Amino acid sequence: MEFMSVIVFGLVNSTILALTAMGFSLTFGLSGVANFAHGGLYLFSGYVSWMLLNYLGLPFALATLLAVVVAALAGALIYRLVIMPVRGIVLSEVIATFAVGVAILELFRWLGFVTYEFNLKPFIKGSVEIAGVAVDYQRIIIIGIGMLMAAVLWYFTHKTRIGLALRGMSQDEYTALSVGIESDWAATLSLALGGVLAAVAALAILPLGIISINIGYEVLLIALAVTVLGGLESTAGLVAGAFVLGYSMTLTSTLLGPQWMEVVYLVAIVLVLAVKPSGLLGRSKELEERV
């Protein structure tokens, strides 16, 4: 029973990690911007959806859709207002986005969005038994959404014109410019897409718990851990990184106790960067960037 529950919950947790990190990883992979406001965007979309549902009484589908759109706009705005003036100075990009993220999170804390009432309802209530382990529908839905998003992401970056243009940009900016891809436009789009992914992840995952400020910081760290572990740009690396982390976290939590869970991904960041900076599936290009 415990063994099965590690298998099942490991799968759920891995998907959650992958979904959480997807937006950050996509933005980083496409435009090289490490969007430290990822956690802020994640929580922001959760709160937006909550406010639309509870203050305006909008129907669920509309509120969800609007929250995703708002997150995309917020992502694009962050690029236009904050990153564009300092584009290329990596440190300033990081500091500026980090400041935006923390500002969003702490603003909500100040507004008093901290109690248990701030929770999103699961899409479908109830649970089902899989191999003797009770799993709620929401977690199953998350696995579905995670797989769907991974597939869509792969298709988008490998098969569509826009996706290819963005990847071209990330591989060689000057060549891409010379064939008529505009750098700022591409980067704005990548930030907006990162926002969309953050919102999708938030709206799927937040119903499991409550919307609390700490989650914003945690999400950023998880995104960093998964991205560092899995290497950049490749969807496969992201998924692999998420699974390694997800299972090791679930195992640690069961064997050593829940207080060790957060230690796992922090250790992962430190160890991977210290020992194998290119990540699990990284290639030489990334190695050159990191070392």
Our CB check for another protein shows the closer of 30 and 165 to be 30
Residue 183 is given by DSSP the state H
Which run of H or E residues covers position 134? Answer: strand 133-136
Residue bearing tokens 């119903």 = 207
Residue numbers 10-29 binding another protein by CB under 8 A: 13
Instruction: Kindly tell me the sign of the dihedral angle through the C-alpha atoms of 262, 40, 276, 29.
Output: positive
Our CB check for another protein shows the closer of 92 and 183 to be 92
- Minimum CB separation of residue 266 from another protein in Å reads 4
Our CB check for another protein shows the closer of 136 and 173 to be 136
Tally: H helices and E strands in the chain:
12, 2
Our CB check for another protein shows the closer of 212 and 235 to be 212
- Minimum CB separation of residue 28 from another protein in Å reads 9
Stretch binding another protein (CB under 8 A), from 62-70, 91-99, 172-180, 189-197: 91-99
Our CB check for another protein shows the closer of 179 and 291 to be 291
Residue numbers 188-247 binding another protein by CB under 8 A: 208-210, 212-215, 217-218, 221, 224-225, 228
- Minimum CB separation of residue 107 from another protein in Å reads 5
Residue numbers 33-72 binding another protein by CB under 8 A: 34
Which run of H or E residues covers position 135? Answer: strand 133-136
Residue numbers 120-149 binding another protein by CB under 8 A: 126-127, 133-136, 138
Taking CA atoms, 29 is separated from 50, 90, 113, 125, 206, in Å, by 30, 14, 33, 36, 25
3-state secondary structure at position 129: strand
Stretch binding another protein (CB under 8 A), from 45-53, 60-68, 152-160, 260-268: 260-268
Applying CB under 8 A, which of residues 49, 238, 250, 281 lies at the interface with another protein? 250
100 binds another protein (CB under 8 A): yes
Query: CA 222 to CA 15: how far, in whole Å?
Result: 12
Taking CA atoms, 208 is separated from 96, 107, 126, 139, in Å, by 31, 23, 12, 8
Residue 161 is given by DSSP the state H
Query: CA 105 to CA 213: how far, in whole Å?
Result: 6
Applying CB under 8 A, which of residues 58, 181, 262, 283 lies at the interface with another protein? 262
Closest by CA to 197, choosing from 228, 237, 156, is 156
Applying CB under 8 A, which of residues 7, 69, 77, 109 lies at the interface with another protein? 109
88 binds another protein (CB under 8 A): no
Spatial contact of 68 and 196, defined as CB atoms under 8 Å apart: yes
